[in-house]
Structure 1
Amino acid sequence: MRVMVRGTGGVAGATVLLIAAAAGPAASGDNGAPEGRDPVAVGTGGAVATVDPDATEAGLDILRSGGNAVDAAVASAAALGVTEPYSAGLGGGGYFVYYDAADGEVRTLDGRETAPAAMAEDAFLEEGEPIPFDEAVTSGLSVGVPGTPATWEHAQDAWGKKSLKKVMGPAIELADDGFVVDETFQRQTADNAERFADFPDTAELFLPGGAPPEPGTVLRNPDLADTYRTFAKEGTGVLEGEIGADIAETAANPPVAPDAEREVRSGLLSEQDIAEYGIVERDPTHVRYRGLDVYGMAPSSSGGSTVGEALQIMDTFDPAEAGDTGLRHVMLEASKLSFADRGAYIGDPAHVDVPLETLLSEDYARQRACRIDPDAAQEAPVPAGDVEAEEGCGGGDAADTPGTEGPSTTHLVAADRWGNVVSYTLTIEQTGGSGITVPDRGFLLNNELTDFEFEASESGQGGANLPGPGKRPRSSMAPTLVLSDGEPWLAAGSPGGPTIITTVLQLLVDRVDRGTTLPQAVEAPRLSQRNTAQTNAEPGFLGTDEEERLADRGHSFEELAEIGAATALEVGDDGVITAVAESERRGGGHAAVLRPRE
């Protein structure tokens, strides 16, 4: 494994306004989660929150044995590779954000998948036209070099207290013994059953008897247990051996059922691509918001930059003057502007000159904020800003590249008794990734390369995120840490493709400006404005007085059944941790603390 260290030029320093909510923890309301899942846990000694009880308990077991937040995060992530294999696993990648209590620094790992060396800018074009998106998804062509193995190994080597073998233990046991299938897993399997059936190894693993497993049955994955054992012993060295060779061969020549009618394109991955993968240590993005320090993930992710830019724009408005509806209006308008800049400027910084320092600066935020009318919504899509301008509200052409990032992914948070905190988002892209399981290895391959723009738009937008050899596709993953007076206060993140950004933004605004508790902020009906004519809204928001008031300012809404599936934690002044997961979204998550508060 190669490790690269790169700075990002992120900046801090917005004018300190007020913090409208106290930083203390709050207990939850009624527990509406499915049996065996607790959406809120309050206590001390450490905490973990994930979308799955088995994964949360894996992390908690490591904390009990003296592990730290990094150990717990890797253990939980490995367990998610067993119980949430359609969202995470060795065949994918992600972004790891870590607060190190020993020196008070925030560090990040870019474990994003990379394109093969043979991938050119026109890789997703045929006769000059983009190939159908669904054909790109279920193909070897969409498979990038996995970054998750290097993420786990590097995090453990650099910051963990336990060995890789130790933290992989709970997941190995889980894969051997099996986990109980729930309704969410069955539904996700059923949604993918048609394409899973076209790949014999996928069908054998996830369609036992030719059908999705029934809720309440136990699903075992002994192949993954064996793969995990090998990885636990050898680390990323396995990618230079048989496992790496198997990944490359599976992507290059997908093993398709003889009777399948689906066209499955071959991929471009080579064994050398996999063996030469390098994780990147990056400086985090950093902005000041209402006197808090907000840290996120720098490009190749657009999460930290887009959330950070929106917060910087919002920080130019006084929440007390704006009022509740005005604050929500400004949030939607700031999101339009930051998404326009995301489309124009964000890509892999090793291949694209990303003006990150400008995008996160106070001066640029004021330039963008001057486009916001406090009483009327802008017509979307709005133009990207001019990063070369020193003043004014001018911009270029409107962004017209909606992007194709999938809605899957998973997020977890972890904290320990020493004050270390992790916010980690990992993924294989679409629910079910490429649909292709590596034979005898027990894990699905990603389809992350569909996050590239297949072609530049007529206006020239999207060029920053076109394919290229060794390039990392732009992501929306937004693992976030918030510090108050230099100490960890809040950690948050979500799955959901580009709605990840708006989910994290709304959660922060609700907790900081609107004075909700963290559980309330996670539960609140969500909005997602991504520089489109209509704002996506969950059913719980539609028909409310707030919708009517925002409609009076020119906003229109389109129903989206579910937006995001957050996990978060908050550390109170007394050291008490409130860990929060969803009670209903994606079937509900599970939060736990080492020593519950009675």
Structure 2
Amino acid sequence: MTDEKKDPEKIPENEDLLFGGQVKPYEKSQKAVGCCRCTKKKLLILAVVLGMLLLYGIGLAIGLAVGLSRDEEEKPQKPEDVLEPVGAVVSDHEACSDIGRDILARYGTAVDAAIATLICNGVRTPHSMGIGGGCFMLVYDRHDKQTMYIDGRETSPKLMTELEYKNMTDYDVNARRIAVPGELKAYKEAHTRYGRLPWKDLFEPTIQMIRAGFPLSGATADALKYLVSINNDQYLTKFPGLCEIFCANTTTGEPKKAGDTILWPKLADTLQGVADEGVDYIYDSPLTNTIVDEIRKEGGILDISDFIMKYEVKTGNALEVYLDNSTLYTMDGATGGPIVALILNILKRYEWLDMNTLEGEVDFYHKLIEAMKFSDADRMRLGDPDFDNTTWILEKMRSEEYADILRTKITEKTHEKPYYTDATGSFGDLMGTSQVSVLSPYGDAVSVTSTVNWYFGSMIVSNATGIIWNNEMDDFDTDPARSTSVNRIEPGKRPRSSMAPCIVVDNQDNVKLVTGGAGGSKIATSVAQLIAKTLLLGMPLNDAVDSKRLHHTLKDNQLSLEKGFPEEIKRLLTEERGHRSSYSSSNIFSVIESILVDDKGALLAYADPRKLSGKASYMYTTVKQKS
């Protein structure tokens, strides 16, 4: 976005912008409020008109009364003006989507709306994300026709080594798993480049929400119940800071239920501090020393320099994939972006059978699975490019020529691991992840995937700030058998991720699709399925999101199917194509939040129903209908 677009005094050409069916006021625009100021001249004209009506009103009124009934029957009805969506925000919680929409209605940018929504999401879905974690943000600037990424991924502390990290069981939660958070730094970088509204304004709605107390969401309540169910009834008492906020009984560890009021005053104070003083309130202030001391007392090894000097946001041009009449933009580097790119590059050249037939569906899913298997083989070679030379694998994964070669290797039946590569590793699901998708009336778009990794990250809540810290160190390869992995632990390194925010733009530089998802190692494959179904197969957005998903990794050469995936397709994939498959035990396979603009320019935003608290909030304009 240009400086002209960032000017808060600049009012967009279309001032008749509405939200939620109501007119949204704007300080500089009386037209947006729907009122007018009468001048003396207008009052004089009005007086003359009223005088004429007084002179002729009686006769005219009688005439109208006589013919009123007949005229009303014969007169054609004037078409009513309609509301047409021109912008949207989709997130994992309805209150947060509404906050983002209201920011758009104040003529905030897509980035403004995304940041305000994310701040809220960290409060209403704190098991998934928050300012103690990290994110990947993709920003499309319609004016400059450019897409860039902002990498706010957490980094390994400078004192962290594989030796420090050893002897930790797979599901052990402790402070040594806390990586240096990058969430707030990414927000600040995005706002500096693309924001219009004051930084402080983006925090205010959520701060007010916390101070008033808010109901616990169903998704967070389910996460609490899950943690208790896989451990023991008193599990939450091991984490007094967390239990203080989310336990109905801090002695027994009984978690609060959906709808119970949450009070989180320390986080409200922290957000107020960040709103007033900027991100240095966390990263470079007297409070920083307190934060580090707290983490060290819990057994962590973060150092003051990890906050003050070490953490830096990365930015760069997005990875591009050319589809028919459109371009896909996604994250580059050790993310899920190259996986999505390779899968779609493989699939885009096929001419698909009729998807209304069983044969067509089976053929699509078989080819999709094979593309997943090839991409998973290459995924294990991805690592932080600042530490390992992974440029060659990234160039290969986004290469159309390479995809063409792989496409020739897809046969009517699947194969064992050696057919694809010698890759043997995979990494687990990131249970705590959240997606925000935004499309502004100006044509700009933002897709952000944010995470604290597992549910509630490290489970450790800062006593001084109320921040829930991530456990992102778990995303490194710590298995001694993979000691040569490019994803091994090194100080200051970013771990590999599956997160893959995506934006698709048509040949006229207009946003066509904004999407991304949560679901751990299933993120990239789920996002690729959504894009393939909507843009390659032409499936309506809601049908594509609602349809059951599948996922494949080479670790055990096993196909995982979402509960409810059609049994007949599963049978044919097994019996005719040779896939070993089973239904996932997880209640939530993955969650995709999307906004689609169809070929006629109609906008549809859709929140994945798998996360019940999600919502799409629209911004509207009034469309005048012809008489």
User: Which TM bucket (shorter chain)?
Assistant: 0.7 to 0.9
- Please give the residue correspondences for 1:432-511 in structure 2 after superposition, counting only pairs within 5 Å: 432-455=456-479, 457=481, 463-485=485-507, 486-511=509-534
- Please give the residue correspondences for 1:113-512 in structure 2 after superposition, counting only pairs within 5 Å: 113-126=154-167, 131-135=168-172, 138-193=173-228, 194-210=234-250, 211-238=254-281, 239-254=283-298, 266-276=299-309, 277-301=311-335, 303-320=336-353, 323-343=360-380, 345-354=381-390, 355=392, 356-373=394-411, 375-380=412-417, 382-384=419-421, 398-455=422-479, 457=481, 463-485=485-507, 486-512=509-535
Distance change >3 Å, CA 329–CA 291, structure 1 → 2: farther
Q: Distance in 2 between matches of 1:300 and 1:217?
A: 39
8 Å Cα contact 2:156/2:491 also seen in 1: yes
Give the Å deviation of 1:332: 0.5
8 Å Cα contact 1:422/1:491 also seen in 2: yes
Higher helix share: 2
Give the Å deviation of 1:357: 1.4
Give the Å deviation of 1:320: 4.7
- Size of the aligned set, in residue pairs, is 521
Q: Distance in 1 between matches of 2:488 and 2:436?
A: 29
Moved more, 501-510 or 512-521: 512-521
Kindly provide the amino acid, as one letter, of the partner of residue 86 in structure 2: G
Give the Å deviation of 1:542: 4.2
| SS state at 2:438 partner | strand
* CA-to-aligned-CA distance 1:192-213 (integer Å, 9 cap, x gap): 3544321222111111422211
What TM-score, normalized by structure 1, do the two folds share?
A: 0.83
Question: Relative contact order (alpha carbons < 8 A, sep ≥ 6): 1 or 2 greater?
Answer: 1
Q: Specify which of 105, 128, 140 is matched with residue 64 of structure 1.
A: 105
Unaligned runs of 5+ in 1: 1-41, 255-265, 385-397
Query: Quick one: percent identity of the two aligned structures?
Result: 29
1:529 aligns with 2:567: no
Q: Distance in 2 between matches of 1:76 and 1:478?
A: 19
Q: Specify which of 601, 604, 607 is matched with residue 578 of structure 1.
A: 604
8 Å Cα contact 2:396/2:402 also seen in 1: yes
Q: Distance in 2 between matches of 1:517 and 1:596?
A: 23
Q: Distance in 1 between matches of 2:453 and 2:420?
A: 28
Distance change >3 Å, CA 410–CA 454, structure 1 → 2: same
* CA-to-aligned-CA distance 1:266-320 (integer Å, 9 cap, x gap): 222111101221000022111113342111111132x111110111122343335
| SS state at 1:470 partner | coil
Q: Distance in 1 between matches of 2:122 and 2:621?
A: 27
Distance change >3 Å, CA 102–CA 243, structure 1 → 2: farther
Q: Distance in 1 between matches of 2:186 and 2:350?
A: 38
What TM-score, normalized by structure 2, do the two folds share?
A: 0.80
| SS state at 2:539 partner | coil
Distance change >3 Å, CA 123–CA 295, structure 1 → 2: farther
Q: Distance in 1 between matches of 2:333 and 2:517?
A: 17
Q: What is the root-mean-square deviation of aligned Cα atoms in Å?
A: 2.1
Tell me the residue number matched to 1:594.
619
Q: Distance in 1 between matches of 2:403 and 2:599?
A: 31
Q: Distance in 2 between matches of 1:382 and 1:201?
A: 49
Determine which structure has more spread, i.e. the larger CA radius of gyration: 2
Q: Specify which of 582, 589, 592 is matched with residue 563 of structure 1.
A: 589
Distance change >3 Å, CA 185–CA 417, structure 1 → 2: same
Give the Å deviation of 1:179: 1.8
